[in-house]
C-alpha cells in the first residue's frame, strides 16, 4: 500500500468519527453542549446552529429545489426549452409590460444571456414586445395567449408538487417555510420580491 493510500485510510477513519459525533449530537445526548452563555433558555438550542442542522438545511435545499423544478423541466425539455425560458415566462407573466432592464435586474443575468433566450421566444410567439408609450426606447414585454398557456402548464405542474408539500406539512409549516426562505434572500432580492408582490409596475421602486 502506498503512503498516499495509507493517508487516505486515516482520512476515512477521521470522517467516520466525525459522523459518529454528529449523530450523538443530533440525538441530544450531550446536555453540556446546550445553554452556553447563560441567557434565557427558550429557543437557544435552535438559534445556535449546530453543525448537523446546517448540513441538513443544505441537503434539503439541494434535493428540494431540484425536485421542485423537475416537473417543469420535463415539460420544457419537450419544447426544446430550459429553466431560463421558464423564468422569463414566470416573471413576464407576473408583471406584464415589464421592461427588459427590470427583467434583467430580477434575473441577475446579462443582456446577452437574456437575449439568447428571449429572442427565440418572441419569434415563436410566446412573448411580444411593444415600445413604451412614455419612453419609446423601452421594449415592454408581455406574454401572448400562447405564452400564457405554456406558463399555465408549467405552473400547474409545480402546483401539484407544492400543494402536496403544503398539505403534508400543514398550514403552520407553510408560514415557517416562507419566513425562512425570505430570510435566505439578500436585501436586494427582498426589495425585488416586495416590488413584485406589491407595486403596479416595478419601475416605481424608487430609484
Partner DNA sequence: TATTTGCGTCAATGATACTGACCCATCATG
Partner DNA sequence: CATGATGGGTCAGTATCATTGACGCAAATA
Query: Which residue stretch of 29-37, 42-50, 74-82, 113-121 sits at the interface with a second copy (rule: CB under 8 A)?
Result: 42-50
Q: In this structure, how many other beta carbons lie within 10 angstroms of the beta carbon of residue 87?
A: 16
Q: Choose the binding region for DNA from 39-47, 111-119, 156-164, 174-182 (rule: CB under 7 A).
A: 111-119
81's contact among a second copy, DNA, none, with CB below 5 to 8 A by partner kind, is DNA
* Binding positions for a second copy, 125-164, rule CB under 8 A: 128-130, 140, 142-145, 155, 158-159, 161-164
Cβ closest to a second copy, residue 5 vs residue 112: 5
x/- map, 118-157, DNA, by CB under 7 A: xx---------x----xxxxxxx-----------------
49, three cell numbers: 446552529
CA–CA gap between residue 135 and residue 183 (Å, rounded): 36
51-110 positions binding a second copy, by CB under 8 A: 54-68, 70, 87, 90, 93-97, 108
* Residue (76 or 154) nearer to DNA, CB: 76
Which stretch, 16-24, 38-46, 109-117, 188-196, contacts DNA (CB under 7 A)? Answer: 109-117
Q: Are 52 and 26 in contact, with CB atoms under 8 Å apart?
A: yes
Is the alpha carbon torsion for 40, 43, 49, 50 positive or negative? Answer: positive
Q: Select from DNA, a second copy, none the partner in contact with residue 24, using the beta carbon and a kind-dependent cut-off of 5 to 8 Å.
A: none
| Cell, residue 42 | 427558550
Site for DNA in 62-81 (CB under 7 A): 76, 80-81
| SS3 of 102-125 | HHHHHHCCCHHHHHHHHHHHHHCC
Length of the chain: 207
Which residues neighbour 133 within 8 Å (Cβ) at sequence distance 6 or greater?
none
Specify the residue, 95 or 203, whose C-beta has the smaller distance to a second copy: 95
Residue 69: which of 154, 177, 185, 189 has the closest Cα? Answer: 154
Amino acid at each position: 500500500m502506498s503512503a498516499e493510500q495509507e493517508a487516505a485510510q486515516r482520512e476515512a477513519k477521521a470522517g467516520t468519527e466525525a459522523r459518529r459525533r454528529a449523530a450523538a449530537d443530533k440525538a441530544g445526548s450531550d446536555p453540556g453542549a446546550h445553554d452556553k452563555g447563560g441567557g434565557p433558555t427558550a429557543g437557544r438550542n435552535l438559534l445556535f446552529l449546530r453543525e448537523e442542522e446546517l448540513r441538513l438545511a443544505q441537503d434539503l435545499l439541494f434535493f428540494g429545489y431540484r425536485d421542485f423544478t423537475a416537473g417543469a423541466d420535463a415539460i420544457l425539455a419537450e419544447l426544446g426549452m430550459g429553466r431560463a425560458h421558464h423564468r422569463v415566462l414566470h416573471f413576464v407573466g407576473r408583471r406584464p409590460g415589464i421592461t427588459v432592464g427590470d427583467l434583467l435586474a430580477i434575473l441577475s443575468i446579462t443582456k446577452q444571456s437574456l437575449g439568447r433566450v428571449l429572442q427565440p421566444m418572441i419569434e415563436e410567439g410566446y412573448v411580444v414586445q411593444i415600445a413604451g408609450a412614455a419612453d419609446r426606447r423601452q421594449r415592454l414585454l408581455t406574454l401572448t395567449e400562447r405564452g400564457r398557456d405554456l406558463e399555465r402548464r408549467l405552473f400547474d405542474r409545480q402546483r401539484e408538487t407544492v400543494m402536496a408539500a403544503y398539505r403534508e406539512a400543514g398550514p403552520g409549516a407553510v408560514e415557517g417555510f416562507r419566513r425562512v426562505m425570505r430570510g435566505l434572500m439578500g436585501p436586494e432580492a427582498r426589495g425585488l420580491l416586495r416590488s413584485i408582490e406589491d407595486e403596479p409596475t416595478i419601475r416605481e421602486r424608487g430609484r
